[in-house]
Every structure is written in C-alpha cells, then in structure tokens.
Structure 1
Amino acid sequence: MTALHPSREQLQLEEVLAALGHPVRASIVRALSSGEEMCCGAIVPGVPKSTLTHHWRVLRESGVIRQRPSGRKLYIALRRDDLDARFPGLLGLVLADGSFGKPAT
C-alpha cells in the first residue's frame, strides 16, 4: 500500500487548519518541528495505535506530514518546506503558540 500525499499546489488552507486544530495532531506537529524524520510509535506515547493511525492519515491527506514506510516501521516528517511555500508564516505561528490545537479554557 502506498500512502498518497497531496502535491504542494494541492494543499488547501482549510484542510491544513482543520488537521492542526486537534490536540493530538498539534502534538505530533510540535514533535516533528525539529525537522527530523521520526518513527511513528515514538512521537506521542500513551495514545492507542489505532487512534494515531487516524491522526497520521488526516495529517498526511491534508499535506502536513509525509509518511515513508521502511520494513515494518513507518517514518513521518513535517512538510515544512511545502507548508512555508504555500502558506508563509503559518507554521511558525502554530509552533510558536503552544496553545494551538488545545481546547479553550
């Protein structure tokens, strides 16, 4: 099975914001903000794998992350270059404000 990733031109602001608006997905993006590719299991401990699979799919289909299978492992990376080119400054704002994606109090 090959994961589909939208091209840079196909990224839609509404889809990216919707993907980033969930607390677990925002946590994943913050964990990936260093630019390093990470093994999926090590990113958000304590969340069931089935739940993470859903969140990775939403992030991938919106164009926020890129997934790469390697044997039995799945690696993900933030598509910072594509997001910055398509929506300049958006990712910086999201990452600078640690409350993005957290429920309002």
Structure 2
Amino acid sequence: MTVLAHPARDEIRIADVLHALADPVRLRIVRELATHAEGMSCGLLELGITASTLTHHVRTLREAGVIWVRPKGTSRISHLRRDDLDALYPGLLTGVLAAPR
C-alpha cells in the first residue's frame, strides 16, 4: 500500500492553499468534503472530469494541506483539514465556503 505524503500543519503555506482553492473543480471538491465530516471518496462526486484529472485535483489539494487522503480498502477517503486550516488561517475556510457559487 502506498503511503501518501501530507504536509505537517507547520508546513502548510497560504500561497499553496490559495492556489489549490482557486480552481473551480477543486473548490467543488472542498465544498462537498465540508458536508461530509466522516470523509468520502472523491470518485463518488459527479464532476464531469476523467479519473486522471480527478487524481490531479485531489493530489493538488493534498499537497497543499487542504485535505487528508487515507486508504480504505480499494478506495481513498478524503477529509477536509478544517482544524489545521482554521488554526493557521482563521476564517479562511468559512469565508471560502460561504462565498456565492
């Protein structure tokens, strides 16, 4: 099983987070994850993109420190890193999630 690299809280940089959140598809993923505290497989989302493109977007979010991704059987479950992001950048996620679509 492949272990996925995630930045530690003190390694998360605002420029990377903002870059990750700037893409409309990644923002849709984050908004959906915000409604699933237990996490979910992003492959279940109807995004209208290929599996390889979804993998790219999830990797970008993970490497920026926006989400955790953990293996569960043959799936990968993603969770929003709300606690880390709220501690580092108070109000950022709240504002992003509340913004008009």
Q: Report the TM-score, using the length of structure 2 for normalisation.
A: 0.93
Q: Distance in 2 between matches of 1:44 and 1:7?
A: 30
After TM superposition, the runs of 4+ consecutive aligned structure 1 residues lying more than 3 A away are none
Measured after TM superposition, the shift of residue 44 of structure 1 is 3.6
Q: Mark the runs of 5 or more structure 1 residues left unpaired by the alignment.
A: 100-105
In structure 2, what is the Cα distance between the partners aligned to 1:43 and 1:67?
15
- Using CA pairs under 8 Å that are at least 6 residues apart, name the structure with larger relative contact order, 1 or 2: 1
CA-based RMSD of the aligned residues comes to 1.0
For these two proteins, the number of residue pairs brought into alignment is 99
What is the CA–CA distance in structure 2 between the aligned matches of 1:97 and 1:36, rounded to whole Å?
23
Q: Which amino acid aligns with 1:27?
A: R
1:13 matches 2:14:
yes
Partner of residue 68 from structure 2, selected from 66, 69, 75: 66
* Distance in 2, Cα, partners of 1:70 & 1:78: 16
Paired AA for residue 32 in structure 2: A
Aligned-pair identity (%): 51
Alignment of 1:9-88 (within 5 A): 9-34=10-35, 35-88=37-90
Q: Displacement, 1:47?
A: 1.6
Contact 1:27 / 1:44 at 8 angstroms: preserved in 2? no
Separation in 1, partners of 2:70, 2:76: 6
